[in-house]
Amino acid sequence: MSDRSPSTHRAFSCRDSLAEGQRALGTLLADAQTLARIDTAIAALSSCIRDGHKILIVGNGGSMCDAAHFAEELTGRFRADRRPIPALACNDPGHLTCVANDYGFEFVFSRWVEAIGQSGDVLIILSTSGNSPNCVKAAAAAKAKGVRTIALLGKGGGQLGQSGACDTPITVPGSTSDRIQELHMLILHIFVEGIEAGL
């Protein structure tokens, strides 16, 4: 017999899940301030590449997978042939396990930014809560090196959404990490479209 109370269990419905995603997207579309920040981010990313710099991107778990997906869309191909665009996700297991073991997991991204980030680069941070310690430290390390920061966030933005924590915080709607990550991935694809158009 299940421990789950019938009052807390919601029957699965494909339609309900799609409608939930549609509502989140509709809320985002109606938020003029957030749309303006997305445009600001695209302009910064395009300028970064035109000026000969690179894009860095970090995130934990599913967000790390999204980071890798975004980077390969730029270094490889998106919709049409064009020159490769320099982008790098922090997903090297050697680096991650070395730093986590020797310094602590909260330093895995900041050490990476300190190692390869250069003034003029842009760092994209993916965090559904905005509070992941390793993402917060990455933002601080980027600022110290003159690396512009763009953060895709959720759940109110957390620490990374606070004034001054990141240059361009973009907080999307959604009550669960999966809905937030879906909008993050959509925005990342829009970033690629915008960068290609800007070049």
Alpha-helix runs per DSSP H in 4-149: 14-29, 32-50, 62-75, 93-102, 108-116, 133-144
pLDDT score at 126: 98
pLDDT score at 10: 73
Q: What angle do CA 126, 128, 130 make, to 5 degrees?
A: 80
Are the C-beta atoms of residues 113 and 4 closer than 8 Å to each other? Answer: no
Q: What is the pLDDT of residues 162-195, one digit of tens each?
A: 999 999 999 999 989 999 999 999 999 999 999 9
Which residues of the chain register pLDDT less than 50? Answer: 1-5
